[in-house]
Amino acid sequence: MPIHTPGATQIYTFPDTAALSKGLDKYVAKLSQEAIKRHDKFTVAISGGSLPKQLSAVLKDNQSVDFTKWIVYFADERCVPLDHEDSNYLLAKKELFDYVNIPEENIHTINPDLINDPDEAAEDYISQLAGTFATKDSVRFPVFDLILLGVGPDGHTCSLFPDHELLNETASWCAPIIDSPKPPPRRITFTFPVLNHAHHVAFVAAGAGKQDMLHQLLDTPGQLPAQRVKPITGTLSWFVDDAAAAKVTSTKHQGLERL
Ligand SMILES: O=C(O)[C@H](O)[C@@H](O)[C@H](O)[C@H](O)COP(=O)(O)O
């Protein structure tokens, strides 16, 4: 059975976070294999928050995944040194990169020399993206094989916050933000066009604290940042535990059975 129905949002539920990590492992491993078969690499972007831990719990021991072909970006990053406790890179390194053999040059971090200038840091990140994606097809936007996102209690995703002017960005690939309501205030973030050009986008959300927001995002039409993630031709999936999905009424699938 295919794991995706193009155009539809797939909501995979799991009894707990351990099961969610198993499902995520299965999903990511499959997409990684498909992408490597197709173009000899797997381009993936990840977020901060609880995502790296959920992602790596099972995946880091998955011997069937060829991590040497992974090319990793951060869907958003904080303007802090790479060894700072707020760094999304540091988090991902501790949770995943330290356990798997992704070549160092394939992990695209914010340029640590530019963290005092978010504009420059965002420009630099765009140049890094161009190095990976602007190949013979000369694409207008990067097309990631997979973008993995979290969602905040206010409906934000990446560093795209409700009512912020960045929600209207239609051209730039990566934007600076200096007034993030979630600390730290200075960050860089992918924009909606980049999220929406990906082949696959998956949100990961766990815990009762996400119940109300998930119900709002998945059952009620709206324009919250996470609701504006609508891949144009790609797929959209949610990986959630039962606690987070408790109030969701939209069609849900038992994750591991369906995957
Ligand atoms: O850099 C960041 O702050 C994150 O990328 C952010 O977008 C995160 O994914 C959400 O806030 C969800 O965070 P939790 O998973 O911790 O709830």
For 143-153, the pLDDT digits (tens) are 999 999 999 99
Residue 104 per-residue DSSP state: G
CA of 127 to the centre of ligand 1 (A): 24
d(CA 74, CA 90): 11
Query: How do residues 182-230 score in pLDDT, each as one tens digit?
Result: 999 999 999 999 999 999 999 999 999 999 999 999 999 899 999 999 9
Please provide the average confidence, as pLDDT, over all residues in the chain. 94
pLDDT of residue 135: 57
Residue 95 contacts residue 53 (beta carbons within 8 Å): yes
CA of 47 to the centre of ligand 1 (A): 7
42-69: average pLDDT: 97
For ligand 1, atom 4, name the residue with the nearest CA: 48
Quick check: CB of 158 below 6 Å from ligand 1? yes
pLDDT of residue 251: 84
For ligand 1, atom 16, name the residue with the nearest CA: 49
Residue 250 contacts residue 10 (beta carbons within 8 Å): no
Taking the CA of residue 149 as reference, the ligand 1 atom at the shortest distance is 9
Count the helix, strand and coil residues of the chain and give each as a percent rounded to the nearest 5. Answer: 40, 20, 40
Domains in the chain: boundaries: 9-209+247-258
- Give the pTM: 0.95
Position 140 confidence tier, pLDDT thresholds 50, 70, 90? confident
Query: How do residues 58-90 score in pLDDT, each as one tens digit?
Result: 999 999 999 999 999 999 999 999 999 999 999
Residue of 17, 46, 51 with the most ligand 1 atoms within 8 Å of its CB, for mutation: 51
CATH of 9-209+247-258, one of 1.10.3720.10, 3.30.70.270, 2.120.10.30, 3.40.50.1360: 3.40.50.1360
Collect all residues with Cβ–Cβ distance below 8 Å to 241 and sequence separation of at least 6: 13, 14, 15, 16, 17, 19, 20, 205, 206, 207
d(CA 195, CA 209): 25
d(CA 177, CA 160): 9
Sign of the torsion angle spanned by Cα atoms 197, 147, 225, 126: negative
d(CA 77, CA 167): 17
Angle of CA points 145, 148, 149, to nearest 5°: 145
pLDDT of residue 1: 35
Query: How do residues 221-259 score in pLDDT, each as one tens digit?
Result: 899 999 999 999 999 999 999 999 999 998 888 888 888
Position 139 confidence tier, pLDDT thresholds 50, 70, 90? low
